[in-house]
């Protein structure tokens, strides 16, 4: 005769673990709790055969076991129901090799992405972003930049004119002029924007984008210019980018320079991208010409400054591996979507 409540409970628990569905659970309940021949019912009935002194203690143990069994049954029941209902909903197993569902997400133009990167690099270096109009006066675009009427350098920047004697800015430098005219040094500014020149082929678009940095202060030097260009190029391209400054001529700077970056494709050993020189021409730079300071009302005897500028389109083409600038302005979604961000 079974009176050992503890044993009944432990056997129940091990059987419980093996019940996989509601039917098995129902059978299990019957085997232990059925009034007629459940093991616990039988054991309770068997109590009468025990000596009177042992009955209360054994009865209590059996009742506790019963309670425990009922609780476990109820919990298990709930688990199985949850599991079974989810199984019923899904039916057959899912083919999870099917593609997931995506949203179509738009994005900024690759040029804008590069522009944002350039802006954040300049902010890191402590520069303020300034803007200016795209239609400019001759004064701001040429005259104040030491390119008086008849200056041969004007020919290099073949200019669009609008009715009324205005022009489309040929570079972002007029923003320098406007900023210096409206503010006092120290200045750390950057201008980014569209510029226009009458020129169109695989590497020239009549509309393109420039970025230009200007620092004016009491003691700004050419060495600072070199360091700033290096810091800028290393952040925009890669930390091991090397820069090279070559003397060059721009009317609004003196000394003037063009700067190159080491070719990332061939690491300087020479490839078609860098025309086998190991260097890629990036932009122009120099110390602000005293004539420019005088034009904006600064005293070239007390302040000095540097400026450097380069093409955003050119940065984008190099970084993204684009060989035709016109792709940037065709707005072909097959092209734009290659650069999600």
Partner 1 sequence: MKFCVEWLQELSGLQQPAEELARALTRIGLAVDTIEGEGEDVVFDVEVPSNRADCLGYRGVARELCAALGGRLQALDVEVPPKAGDGPPPVVIEITDPSLCMRYSARCLKGVRAGTSPDWMARRLERSGVRPLNTIVDITNYVMLETGQPLHAFDQSHLRDNRLSVREARKGEKLITLDGTERHLGSDHLIIADARQPVALAGLMGGLDSEINNDTQEIVIESARFAPLAVRRTARALGMRTEGSQRFERGTDPGGTLQAADRAATLMARLASAQVDPRAVDLYPAPGELRRLSLRHGRVKALLGMAIPLDQMRSILERLEFRVLCAGPSHLEVEVPSFRSDVECEEDLVEEVARHHGYDLIPSTLPEARDSSDKVPETTRGQVPILLSSLHAHGFTEGICTVFVKSNLNHLWMDGSDHSVRLVNPLSETGDELRCSLLPGLVAATRRNLNHGAPGVALYETGVVFRTSDADAKPNEENRLALVMAGTPSLGTWNRGASGADLFDVKGALEEGLERAGWPSLETRPAEVAWLRSGRTAQLLCGERPIGWLGALHPETAAALDVDAETMTAEISLTELERVPASPHRYRPLPRTPPVIRDLALVMPRQQEFAEVAEAIRKLDSRIVHVEPFDRYESKKLGPNHISLALRVTFHHPERTLVSEEVQEMEDQILSQLHERFKIRLRGA
Q: Is 50 in the site for partner 1 (CB under 8 A)?
A: no
Q: Is 224 in the site for partner 1 (CB under 8 A)?
A: yes
- Tell me how far CA of residue 24 lies from CA of 66, 67, 80, 104, 227, in angstroms: 19, 20, 11, 48, 79
Distance between CA atoms of residues 23 and 43, nearest Å: 24
Q: Is 283 in the site for partner 1 (CB under 8 A)?
A: no
Q: Is 56 in the site for partner 1 (CB under 8 A)?
A: no
Q: Is 66 exposed, middle or buried (0-12, 13-18, 19+ CB in 10 A)?
A: buried
C-beta of residue 179 within 8 angstroms of C-beta of residue 144: no
Q: Identify which range of 6-14, 29-37, 65-73, 222-230 contacts partner 1 by CB under 8 A.
A: 222-230
Enumerate the H helices of the chain as residue ranges.
5-17, 22-33, 39-45, 55-90, 110-124, 138-141, 153-156, 173-182, 222-236, 290-295, 312-320, 333-336
C-beta of residue 188 within 8 angstroms of C-beta of residue 224: no
Binding test (CB under 8 A) with partner 1, winner from 22, 112, 117, 203: 112
CB-nearer residue toward partner 1: 74 or 156 = 156
To partner 1, the closest distance from the beta carbon of 23 in angstroms equals 34
Q: Is 9 in the site for partner 1 (CB under 8 A)?
A: no
Binding test (CB under 8 A) with partner 1, winner from 34, 131, 267, 338: 131
Q: Is 233 in the site for partner 1 (CB under 8 A)?
A: no
Quick count: other Cβ atoms within 10 Å of Cβ 56? Answer: 11
Binding test (CB under 8 A) with partner 1, winner from 30, 34, 107, 267: 107
Q: Is 245 in the site for partner 1 (CB under 8 A)?
A: yes
Binding test (CB under 8 A) with partner 1, winner from 207, 264, 271, 322: 207
C-beta of residue 46 within 8 angstroms of C-beta of residue 40: no
Binding test (CB under 8 A) with partner 1, winner from 28, 43, 62, 187: 187
Q: Is 63 in the site for partner 1 (CB under 8 A)?
A: no
CB-nearer residue toward partner 1: 82 or 200 = 200
């Amino acid at each position: 005769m079974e009176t050992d409540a503890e044993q009944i409970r432990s056997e129940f628990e091990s059987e419980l673990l093996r019940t996989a569905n509601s039917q098995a659970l129902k059978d299990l309940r019957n085997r232990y709790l059925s009034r007629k021949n459940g093991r616990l019912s039988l054991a309770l009935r068997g109590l009468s055969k025990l000596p009177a002194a042992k009955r209360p203690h054994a009865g209590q143990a059996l009742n506790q076991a019963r309670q425990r069994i009922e609780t476990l049954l109820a919990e298990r029941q709930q688990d199985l129901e949850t599991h079974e209902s989810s199984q019923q909903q899904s039916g057959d197993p899912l083919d999870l090799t099917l593609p997931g569902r995506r949203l179509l997400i738009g994005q900024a133009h690759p040029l804008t992405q590069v522009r944002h990167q350039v802006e954040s690099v300049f902010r890191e270096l402590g520069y303020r972003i300034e803007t200016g109009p795209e239609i400019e006066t001759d004064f701001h675009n040429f005259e104040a930049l030491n390119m008086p009427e008849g200056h041969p350098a004007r020919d290099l920047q073949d200019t669009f004119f609008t009715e009324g004697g205005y022009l489309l800015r040929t570079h972002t430098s007029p923003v320098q002029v406007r900023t210096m005219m409206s503010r006092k040094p120290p200045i750390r500014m950057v201008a980014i924007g569209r510029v226009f020149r009458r020129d169109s082929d695989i590497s020239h678009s009549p509309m393109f984008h420039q970025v230009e940095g200007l620092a004016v202060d009491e003691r700004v030097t050419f060495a600072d210019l070199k360091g700033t260009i290096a810091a800028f190029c290393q952040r925009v391209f890669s930390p091991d980018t090397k820069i090279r400054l070559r003397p060059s001529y721009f009317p609004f700077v003196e000394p003037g320079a063009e700067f190159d970056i080491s070719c990332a494709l061939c690491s300087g050993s020479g490839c078609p991208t860098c025309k086998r020189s190991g260097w890629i021409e990036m932009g122009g730079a120099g110390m602000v010409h005293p004539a420019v300071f005088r034009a904006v009302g600064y005293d070239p005897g007390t302040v000095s400054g540097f400026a450097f500028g380069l093409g955003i389109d050119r940065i984008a083409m190099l970084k993204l591996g684009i060989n035709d600038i016109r792709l940037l302005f065709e707005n072909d979604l097959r092209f734009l979507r290659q650069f999600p961000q």
